[in-house]
Structure 1
Amino acid sequence: MNTRAIAGSSSVRPAGGVAAVELVVMCVVAVGLTVGSLFQKLQCAGEGLDLAYVTRHACLGDTLSLWGIRDLASHVFPYVGPLTTRGLPPGTLEYPTLTGLWAWLSALPVGSSRGFLVVTALTFVPVVVVVTVLLARMAGRRAWIFAATPPLFLYALYNWDLLTVVCTTAGVFAAVRWPAGRAPVWRAVVVGALFGLGGAFKLYPLAFVAPFVLALLVDAGPSWPDRVRRAAGAVAGALGVVLAANLPFVLVNATSWFSVIRFQGTRDIDPSTLSVWYWALQPWSAQSSPEVQLRLNLLSTAATAVAVLAVLAVGLVIGLRRGRMPWIETSAALLCAYLVTNKVDSLQYVLWLTPFFAVVRIRLGWVVAYVTANLLLFVGWFHSFALKAVGVSARTWADEAQTIGIWGQIVLLPILAVVFLRSRAVDRDADRPEPDPRPGAAAGLRARGTASPARE
């Protein structure tokens, strides 16, 4: 039996190492891009700037705009106050509780949007370093995909997505690099808790609990009671963190807490959502009538559920055939399915994919293609608004770039889902037997049935 199989492993060698000097350089570059993102956003932190200016410089982002729209300057504790005319309590973001608390704490020591951006950037610097180090320890030089590519510069300070990225990365790291001698059931609890922590910032990391639990149940090696115990531990870890992050707010004011869910559920599918549902179903989808929006929301919700379940089913079939479920690859494919079918596919969501671009060994051409499509969308999106703001009504190069970028992402996401499922994640390198210098050791390993690359 291969005691290092993913469902019962105790330690795993890193898939590829980087020298200490290169890791330091990698972290410096990642921090540099984060600081660069700060200075790029600070261009929009002044008073009295018009739409033409902020869109021409492409420096507007949620961290900046929500400072004023959600009244973060008031320093009101979020999620518990009475609802405002916008449908949310004062000082509350339209995101799960931990994101709102992070923004509230970042806003406490300052009184301006400029100060808020600086504090947010300072809190994100260690986050970026942690993600870079963890990815480098798992995936070696592929960590450069996160540390030195346009998404980090464009979106580090765009929203609070780096918080979910670090939780996702830490969850995968805990699964594939669990220390030797530590109880495997606690590995499951920790991984589930980290994905639950990500879900308390933004919901999507909770979806990764499902393939991880299926892997714990499917993978050959441990006895069935042990598999069930570990799967239950993963679910308990995720639910425990989610409940701890939300239950206090529910008990204080359930209506205010639920307002975030209602806000997102009733959000219109319009050009700002950048989703297939608006762009593929025009002119019908361009209507703002409640009936059309209700149907669009129902359609996107149903399609998202079907797509996610389909990816899980494919991953499970692969796992049953191999005796080992590719849960990391399935998680990456699941994320692609979610992004292409969900009602919203915001610009910065490319950050969600960057850890999987590193830890799943897909060809770099796919990474370049998707990042390029996102870059075209970013440039086209902002410059299209800038040109319209100064009176240009004809279709321009910016509109073309935006269209190519949107459809590039829409086409690439389902392809990437298939590519992820057909590729190899870094954790699967653990199934290779370690070299033994003794004569005849390789033959002995094969005789005992140890896993080998040929059996993958």
Structure 2
Amino acid sequence: MPAMSTSDRWRLRWHAAKGNLAVVLLVLVVLSLVFMWLGYLGKLDCGGAPYFPDGRSKHWPVGKNELLMPCYSDLQFLWVGRDINNHVFPYIHGGITDDGVLYGGVVEYPVLSGLLMYLGAIGAHTDTQFFMHSALILLPFGILVTVLLGLLVRWWALLWAATPPLILYAFHNWELPVVATAVGAVAVMVFGAQTSPRTGAPRLSLRTSSVIASVLLAIGFCLKLYPGLFVLPLAAYVLTRGTPRDAAALGRRALDRVGAAWVIGAAVVTVVAIQLPFMIGGFDGWKASLSFQGRRKSDVDTNSVWYWGVRHLTGGMNSTYNSIVGVASPLLILASFAVVIYLGVRVWRSGEAYPWIGVSAAMLAGFMLFHKVHSPQYTLWILPFFVLLRVAWPIIALYLLADLSLDLTIFRLFGIYTSGSPMKWWVMGGVQFGVWTHAVLLAILMVAFVRAPLRVRAPKPDGFLERVPATVAV
């Protein structure tokens, strides 16, 4: 039997690696589809005939089968009150009243999310049809996130594809598109840093891949804001050329200020290009969505540490409480950003590349901790960072347990408050456990994320897998 040549062995290894990856992706996609399907069925319990004249199901918001998972979803909630049921194109014709009520098609979301809602309402005449159309729009983004994470971390993507948050929140609100932009930005940076087997050089230059990633993050900003936070650490990464600090190799003149400016400029131009048509078409309506968020109070609906903590110190939701939250929340958010960016600089000075992914995750943790609003579905925002970064297992497990506790109780608490029924101890206990466990863990993650090693893996030219070193553009 003739000996196998080097080229034949290379081809065999390459095809074996591709086959293994195909199996991983197939399993991940199937599992994510199953979990999203379960979530879809659970949320659908709040819909169906009979309907009110405005198309609202009489089963909303408690459902008809008393499921363990609350069937309430913001998708169905938004059907009435934002002119979505009247098929009004968002922002162009509307505004906000002196009482803070939106009208004329304005929704309290960034423009691209509003546009997706409008598309979901096409052909829908009930909240159930709107929910079903919206789920069809959201589904490809959920699959895309699964595939991208599978390509980046292989089986670790099970933390995304096969955990309760995908059941609870895939079709709760418009989170999947924005998560896809954030994960897509990381994937572009990884792909660009991979060595091409033909040239032996990176597939994309650092500037090119970072500009593409910045555009994706800017699109995410126009969906749900938070990916825009990641542009700054990405620019810092490019500024330092994605390499560790070395006095002999990286002096002040070696900092890539032009590349960093390109990253920020690309994000700004993208945001302006997306926002400008809405600003020109209906400035008052476009501005109304921003005004709504500015006026929003930190009440029980926002589910933050401010409501569950500071409210008790001020004697309720009075003017003192609102003043404290209105000032302290943005200041603490900005302070948390400054701290984690500085922690990233310290990592760079210690001899490692600037950890832009870890810093991005830490900024998100600070934002989620101190913002006036902390909706349960925000778990989908932070979950990919549990996948991408080597976070301690107890933290991940406890975070997901607290999230499950919160989701299974908070919407029942809303119903008790609305009906005036006696409070159940396990409902209030579940909410308190979820809120305060998340708060403590987010405070820990603001530090832990920055130094967490990456799980990201990239293919070598010979078809095997290797750990992406700290110096590549991820």
TM interval, short-chain normalised: 0.7 to 0.9
Structure 2 match to 1:59? 71
From the superposition, tell whether residues 238 and 71 of structure 1 become closer, same or farther in structure 2 (CA, over 3 Å).
Answer: same
Given that 2:239 and 2:256 are in contact with CA atoms closer than 8 Å, whether structure 1 keeps it comes out as yes
Given that 1:249 and 1:257 are in contact with CA atoms closer than 8 Å, whether structure 2 keeps it comes out as yes
Return the offset for 1:222.
8.0
> Which shows bigger deviation, 48-57 or 162-171?
48-57
Given that 2:94 and 2:106 are in contact with CA atoms closer than 8 Å, whether structure 1 keeps it comes out as no
Structure 2 match to 1:26? 28
> What SS does structure 2 have at the residue aligned with 1:271?
coil
Structure 2 match to 1:82? 94
> What SS does structure 1 have at the residue aligned with 2:301?
helix
Q: How far apart, CA to CA, are the structure 2 residues paired with 1:410 and 1:260?
A: 28
Given that 1:53 and 1:386 are in contact with CA atoms closer than 8 Å, whether structure 2 keeps it comes out as no
Does residue 72 in structure 1 map to residue 84 in structure 2? Answer: yes
- Quick one: which amino acid aligns to residue 112 of structure 1? T
> What SS does structure 2 have at the residue aligned with 1:67?
coil
From the superposition, tell whether residues 375 and 168 of structure 1 become closer, same or farther in structure 2 (CA, over 3 Å).
Answer: same
Structure 1 match to 2:326? 297
Structure 1 match to 2:10? none
Given that 1:97 and 1:246 are in contact with CA atoms closer than 8 Å, whether structure 2 keeps it comes out as yes
Return the offset for 1:237.
1.8
Q: How far apart, CA to CA, are the structure 2 residues paired with 1:94 and 1:138?
A: 34
Return the offset for 1:150.
0.5
Given that 2:363 and 2:446 are in contact with CA atoms closer than 8 Å, whether structure 1 keeps it comes out as yes
Aligned match for 1:411, one of 413, 434, 440: 440
Return the offset for 1:71.
2.2
Q: How far apart, CA to CA, are the structure 2 residues paired with 1:23 and 1:54?
A: 36
Give a deviation string over 1:211-247, Cα, whole Å, max 9, x none: 1111111243789567222212211221122111101
Given that 2:145 and 2:180 are in contact with CA atoms closer than 8 Å, whether structure 1 keeps it comes out as yes
Given that 1:70 and 1:93 are in contact with CA atoms closer than 8 Å, whether structure 2 keeps it comes out as yes
Does residue 346 in structure 1 map to residue 375 in structure 2? Answer: yes
- Quick one: which amino acid aligns to residue 444 of structure 2? I
From the superposition, tell whether residues 95 and 51 of structure 1 become closer, same or farther in structure 2 (CA, over 3 Å).
Answer: closer
Q: How far apart, CA to CA, are the structure 2 residues paired with 1:434 and 1:313?
A: 36
Given that 2:191 and 2:203 are in contact with CA atoms closer than 8 Å, whether structure 1 keeps it comes out as no
Does residue 274 in structure 1 map to residue 303 in structure 2? Answer: yes
Structure 2 match to 1:152? 166
Structure 2 match to 1:359? 388
Higher relative contact order (CA 8 A, sep 6+): 1
- Quick one: which amino acid aligns to residue 385 of structure 2? F
Return the offset for 1:363.
2.5
Q: How far apart, CA to CA, are the structure 2 residues paired with 1:402 and 1:267?
A: 21
From the superposition, tell whether residues 279 and 184 of structure 1 become closer, same or farther in structure 2 (CA, over 3 Å).
Answer: same
From the superposition, tell whether residues 396 and 389 of structure 1 become closer, same or farther in structure 2 (CA, over 3 Å).
Answer: farther
Return the offset for 1:271.
1.4
Given that 1:63 and 1:159 are in contact with CA atoms closer than 8 Å, whether structure 2 keeps it comes out as yes
Give a deviation string over 1:94-130, Cα, whole Å, max 9, x none: 0100000011011112222111111111122211111
Given that 1:285 and 1:296 are in contact with CA atoms closer than 8 Å, whether structure 2 keeps it comes out as no
Structure 2 match to 1:203? 225
Q: How far apart, CA to CA, are the structure 2 residues paired with 1:281 and 1:235?
A: 36
- Quick one: which amino acid aligns to residue 27 of structure 1? V
Aligned match for 1:192, one of 190, 205, 214: 214
Q: Return 5+ residue gaps in structure 2 as ranges.
A: 1-17, 49-56, 195-201, 244-248, 463-468
Give a deviation string over 1:323-359, Cα, whole Å, max 9, x none: 5111111111111111111111111000001111111
Q: How far apart, CA to CA, are the structure 2 residues paired with 1:374 and 1:344?
A: 15
Return the offset for 1:387.
4.9
Q: How far apart, CA to CA, are the structure 1 residues paired with 2:65 and 2:221?
A: 31
Q: How far apart, CA to CA, are the structure 2 residues paired with 1:88 and 1:154?
A: 28
Given that 2:314 and 2:320 are in contact with CA atoms closer than 8 Å, whether structure 1 keeps it comes out as no
Give a deviation string over 1:58-99, Cα, whole Å, max 9, x none: 111111101112121111111111325454342222010000
Correspondence list, 1:303-318, <5 A: 303-318=332-347
From the superposition, tell whether residues 53 and 386 of structure 1 become closer, same or farther in structure 2 (CA, over 3 Å).
Answer: farther
Structure 1 match to 2:186? 172
Aligned match for 2:149, one of 128, 135, 140: 135
Aligned residues: 424
- Quick one: which amino acid aligns to residue 106 of structure 1? G
Return the offset for 1:181.
4.0
Structure 1 match to 2:113? 99
Structure 1 match to 2:58? 48
Q: How far apart, CA to CA, are the structure 2 residues paired with 1:299 and 1:340?
A: 12
Structure 1 match to 2:401? 372
Q: How far apart, CA to CA, are the structure 2 residues paired with 1:96 and 1:161?
A: 12
Does residue 241 in structure 1 map to residue 270 in structure 2? Answer: yes
Q: How far apart, CA to CA, are the structure 1 residues paired with 2:217 and 2:337?
A: 17
- Quick one: which amino acid aligns to residue 104 of structure 1? Y
Given that 2:74 and 2:172 are in contact with CA atoms closer than 8 Å, whether structure 1 keeps it comes out as yes
Structure 2 match to 1:13? none
Q: Return 5+ residue gaps in structure 1 as ranges.
A: 1-15, 436-450
Q: How far apart, CA to CA, are the structure 2 residues paired with 1:350 and 1:52?
A: 22
> What SS does structure 2 have at the residue aligned with 1:79?
coil
Given that 2:390 and 2:454 are in contact with CA atoms closer than 8 Å, whether structure 1 keeps it comes out as yes
Aligned match for 1:231, one of 260, 265, 274: 260
- Quick one: which amino acid aligns to residue 25 of structure 1? V
- Quick one: which amino acid aligns to residue 103 of structure 1? M
From the superposition, tell whether residues 367 and 426 of structure 1 become closer, same or farther in structure 2 (CA, over 3 Å).
Answer: same
From the superposition, tell whether residues 55 and 263 of structure 1 become closer, same or farther in structure 2 (CA, over 3 Å).
Answer: farther
> Which shows bigger deviation, 405-414 or 274-283?
274-283
Given that 2:90 and 2:118 are in contact with CA atoms closer than 8 Å, whether structure 1 keeps it comes out as yes
From the superposition, tell whether residues 140 and 90 of structure 1 become closer, same or farther in structure 2 (CA, over 3 Å).
Answer: same
Alpha-carbon RMSD across the aligned residues, in angstroms, is 2.9
Given that 2:96 and 2:288 are in contact with CA atoms closer than 8 Å, whether structure 1 keeps it comes out as no
From the superposition, tell whether residues 52 and 95 of structure 1 become closer, same or farther in structure 2 (CA, over 3 Å).
Answer: closer
- Quick one: which amino acid aligns to residue 81 of structure 2? I
From the superposition, tell whether residues 433 and 93 of structure 1 become closer, same or farther in structure 2 (CA, over 3 Å).
Answer: same
Given that 2:353 and 2:470 are in contact with CA atoms closer than 8 Å, whether structure 1 keeps it comes out as no
Q: How far apart, CA to CA, are the structure 1 residues paired with 2:454 and 2:447?
A: 14
Does residue 262 in structure 1 map to residue 309 in structure 2? Answer: no
